[in-house]
Amino acid sequence: MKLKHLFILAASAVLSAVAFLACNCDGNSCSDDASAKDAAKVKPLVVYWTWSETHNTKVVAEMLQQKTGADIALIEMVTPYPNDFGSVMQLGQRDLQQPKAPAIKEMNLDLSKYDPIYVGTPIWFSTYAPPVRTFLQSYDFKGKTVALFCTHGQGNPATFKYLADAKAAVPAINFFPEVFAHKGTEAANAGPALDAWIQKVSAK
Ligand SMILES: Cc1cc2nc3c(=O)[nH]c(=O)nc-3n(C[C@H](O)[C@H](O)[C@H](O)COP(=O)(O)O)c2cc1C
């Protein structure tokens, strides 16, 4: 009887050990796929560009960062646009007519650590500001969801071409189909609408 008990105990210990190794256990939980653990380490990233002195897009970007626990990065131009509106109207239109302009500074982003990636712009001429297009053209977003957000002036968000132009510029990117748009002068009040949109992006 004693021997039988010992045999049963030894056999179940061996089986537990085999199951432990096969399951890639870390002592607290088991996963039969190590990559599932890597996926769990992926976090959101917020990337944005801003120009006006009130930095409306930055206000929304920081709110997004705080709400999602994301890392955050600012797109910076090699040669920043000047501060006066007249020059920026000219230079912005000029750059939008180029296939890839203006140049932006190296950001040293390791995108393998992030998903989704939120990309924010002020609306210029009903679309993205040119440095944001350069950013989208500069990295490999394979396997990532890119969710676009923007702040704007008096324009009607339904007419904005941010998503359509981004898709045309970088067809390989998997864009979330709904752009978050908020009036720049009311950026500080974006919270509730932002919450609803984040939920949709997270449920993708
Ligand atoms: C060159 C330029 C073009 C703009 N074009 C538009 C536009 O087409 N539609 C719109 O609603 N707002 C337009 N705006 C207003 C900005 O989108 C808005 O003020 C935005 O919140 C600014 O964001 P920022 O503070 O992050 O730069 C334009 C602003 C500038 C400077």
Q: Does residue 184 have its Cβ closer than 6 Å to ligand 1?
A: yes
Q: Does residue 121 have its Cβ closer than 6 Å to ligand 1?
A: no
Average pLDDT value for residue range 151-164: 98
Q: How confident is the model at residue 40 (pLDDT cuts 50, 70, 90)?
A: low
Q: Does residue 28 have its Cβ closer than 6 Å to ligand 1?
A: no
Strand partners, 182: 151
Q: Which atom of ligand 1 is nearest to the CA of 48?
A: 26
Predicted pLDDT at 35: 52
Superfamily of domain covering 42-202: Flavodoxin domain (3.40.50.360)
Domain definitions of the chain by residue range: 1-38, 42-202
Model confidence, pTM? 0.85
Rounded distance from Cα 134 to ligand 1 centre (Å): 18
